[in-house]
Structure 1
Amino acid sequence: MKDNIPPQPANSFRITLELFRAEKRLDNVLLLAIKQQNENLDLREISRSAYKELFNEGKIQIKGQKARPSSAVAKGITYVDILGFKQKRS
């Protein structure tokens, strides 16, 4: 079976969440993943209030849809795109 990876929007930073169990809230899991990544230091140093604002402005998306902080996240791989931040290219 081939993975169905959604296209990444222009001018966005993609975080791939790989969960071994379902989580009740996206915001907690995503913030931890943001803090652990080393590709975008501006995003890694984001304040809690600026992070909340990304959700409020619809700049955090899953499959092109606006994500909610309280959304549950299923076990497996989830691709989260954060609009307005650049992906580091190798």
Structure 2
Amino acid sequence: MLPRDERRRLQEIEQQLVDEDPRLARRLSQTSTLGYLRARVSVRMFAAACAGVLAVMCLFLNEGAAALTSAALAGVLLLSRTWRVEFL
């Protein structure tokens, strides 16, 4: 929790933003469901979910090796969600 004077200052900044550009303030304060999902779900997590669904489908189709491979891929993607990839 922020100290009282910092909260007051943030409220003043917010009010100043609303006074200067109400359209921008409205856009920043509104969050759509799609925007929320886009911010919370990474490409890696989406790929892990797809691999998990594929693993379940392979199990129903009696494809054991494909199900194992898909499950392993989903597991690796889920475990690697905190890994950072840096390019030179």
TM over 0.5: no
TM-score where L is the length of structure 1: 0.24
TM-score where L is the length of structure 2: 0.25
Which has more radius of gyration?
2
| Structure having greater relative contact order (Cα 8 Å, sep ≥ 6) | 1
Q: Which has the higher strand share?
A: 1
